[in-house]
Amino acid sequence: MADAPQIHRAKINKATNISVSFLNGLDSGELLTGTPVVTQVSAGSPQELTISNEIVNTSALTINGLSNAAGQAVQFAVTGSVAGLYKLDVYCATDATPSQDRGGRILFEVYA
């Protein structure tokens, strides 16, 4: 799985909201559905990030200059307690028949 080219950043112990576009990974007419799953896959033991409020977008968003209709992006909040560069996997089911999962990896930097 390739990392997204952007690196999201936040200061230690400060929450930040992240939006991840799945626009280019969905089939024509396909939308994300259900509750997304976001997991830390690198650095930290125990887990040093707090991930919360995972949702599929319910209104249009612009991410990296592209318009994402409702159901084309995942949003969540993340807070880091230890400085470092982390990888997060973001997965969500779709309304395809049969249902399928779409996923991606993002980078998140926590700084002092």
Share of the chain above pLDDT 90, in %: 81
Return the pLDDT at 3.
63
Token pair 């209104």: residue = 59
User: What are the boundaries of each domain within the chain?
Assistant: 3-111
Query: Above 60 in pLDDT, residue 45?
Result: no
Span 80-93, pLDDT tens digits? 989 999 999 999 99
- The larger pLDDT score, comparing residue 45 to residue 19, is at 19
The CATH H-level superfamily of 3-111 is: Immunoglobulins (2.60.40.10)
Extract the tokens encoding 71.
Answer: 């159901």
Return the pLDDT at 57.
98
Q: 38, 51 in Cβ contact below 8 A?
A: yes
Extract the tokens encoding 66.
Answer: 């592209």
Q: Model confidence at 43, in pLDDT bands (50, 70, 90)?
A: low
pTM: 0.91
Distance CA 32, CA 22 (A): 8
Span 1-24, pLDDT tens digits? 556 678 999 999 999 999 999 999
